[in-house]
Amino acid sequence: MIVVMEPEAGDAAIAAVEAKIRAEGLRVHVSRGTERTLIGAIGDERKLSPAMFETLPGVERALHILKPYKLVAREWHATSTTVRVRGNVIGGNGVQVIAGPCSVETEGQMRAAAAAVAAGGARLMRGGAFKPRTSPYAFQGAGLEGLRMLKEAASRYGLPIVSELMDMRMLDTFLHEGVDVIQIGTRNMQNFDLLKEVGRVDVPVILKRGMSATIGEWLMAAEYIAAGGNHRIVLCERGIRTFETAYRNVLDVTAIPMLKRETHLPVIVDPSHAGGKAWLVAALAGAAVAAGADGLLVEVHPNPPEAWCDADQALTPAEFAMLMHKLAAVAEAVGRTLTGVPRTTSQREDLPVA
């Protein structure tokens, strides 16, 4: 940490800062410049916070030099992590697509959805049984029964399942019903008690980025899970909130290479929620793969106009199959392989333009 003193700060003020740093067990290094005196704290500065110093007389500001995350940082763990889900790998050279409907509705819908997911080539299936809805009057999800419908439908095709956990009291139920990957949603990215709970179990977690979470806050949320002992974490970019109203959110593709540099965890992207429209999915999904994403979370519904939630962002089974072909080509172009879809180098030319 660097403490910047005000121009008129005297020796007593400087000594007080030095004493405070030493009291925390760090060493001190003073540099007197022409306009400011800087005081460096040498040692593990993660114990210190700028607020500890900015209240002292003569201090202009204090700033961290090191990143606050450790377990999830690439600096401390250079090798990229891969997360295994019943034989399927997220991370590494493959690009893994997780697909399925926004919400679990009926048995028939789930069976048709699972068929579409498998036919498209995806190897994991998603479906929401507990839904975080902006309105208390909207459909809140099929609940436990929904989890069972999802599991049953996915099992027919050997697909592991991904579902969102909102209420920590339901964690045991999720484990008991065989949820293979727990999703922590955007609105709960900083629900720290929930993060602590999923940090204690041995089930992979997809951690979605908060609506306006910085990269740093997001990695600290992952650090909460890792600090509990669960290192099977996948980060999911899903669009951030900005001033733009022409689409639901702005997919932040820059986050992908930045995360690849800052953390060893796999990074996937949800193009469906980001844009909020089915017709945007192909362009956004392609962009995500070209930017280096390790996977995608895509909404597919057997009959989108009848979907009980987010109807306008779900792909039809046919659109999903076409998307997978496009993504296979983009993945190949950047030296990777889309899991589940064979390379089709020669057939590619006749595909529609993005």
> Binding of a copy of itself at residue 203 (CB under 8 A)?
no
Task: State how far the Cα of 98 lies from the Cα of 344, in Å rounded to an integer.
Answer: 21
Task: State how far the Cα of 209 lies from the Cα of 185, in Å rounded to an integer.
Answer: 8
Give the residue, chosen from 13, 89, 119, 287, that forms a contact with a copy of itself under the rule CB under 8 A: 287
Residue 174's contacts (CB-CB under 8 Å, 6 or more residues apart) are 147, 163, 165, 182, 203
Which 3-state string (H, E, C) describes 17-49?
A: HHHHHHHCCCEEEEEECCCCEEEEEECCHHHCC
Q: How far is the CB of 212 from a copy of itself (least distance, A)?
A: 4
x/- site string to a copy of itself, residues 62 to 101, per CB under 8 A?
Answer: -x-xx-x------x-----------------x--------
Query: Could you count the other beta carbons within 10 Å of the beta carbon of residue 178?
Result: 15
Give the residue, chosen from 11, 12, 35, 87, that forms a contact with a copy of itself under the rule CB under 8 A: 35
Q: Of the ranges 120-128, 142-150, 153-161, 216-224, which one interacts with a copy of itself (CB under 8 A)?
A: 216-224
Q: How far is the CB of 86 from a copy of itself (least distance, A)?
A: 26
Q: Of the ranges 142-150, 153-161, 175-183, 281-289, which one interacts with a copy of itself (CB under 8 A)?
A: 281-289
Give the residue, chosen from 104, 113, 181, 256, that forms a contact with a copy of itself under the rule CB under 8 A: 256
Task: State how far the Cα of 287 lies from the Cα of 269, in Å rounded to an integer.
Answer: 10
Q: How far is the CB of 178 from a copy of itself (least distance, A)?
A: 22
Q: Of the ranges 106-114, 149-157, 173-181, 290-298, which one interacts with a copy of itself (CB under 8 A)?
A: 290-298
Site for a copy of itself in 102-161 (CB under 8 A): 132-138
156: three-class secondary structure by DSSP: coil
Enter the DSSP assignment of 316.
Answer: P
Beta carbons of 274 and 239 less than 8 angstroms apart: yes
Residue 87's contacts (CB-CB under 8 Å, 6 or more residues apart) are none
Q: Of the ranges 118-126, 150-158, 173-181, 245-253, which one interacts with a copy of itself (CB under 8 A)?
A: 245-253
Site for a copy of itself in 317-346 (CB under 8 A): 322, 325-326, 329-330, 332-336, 344-345
Q: Which amino acid is at 196?
A: K
Site for a copy of itself in 164-193 (CB under 8 A): 166-169, 187-188, 190-193
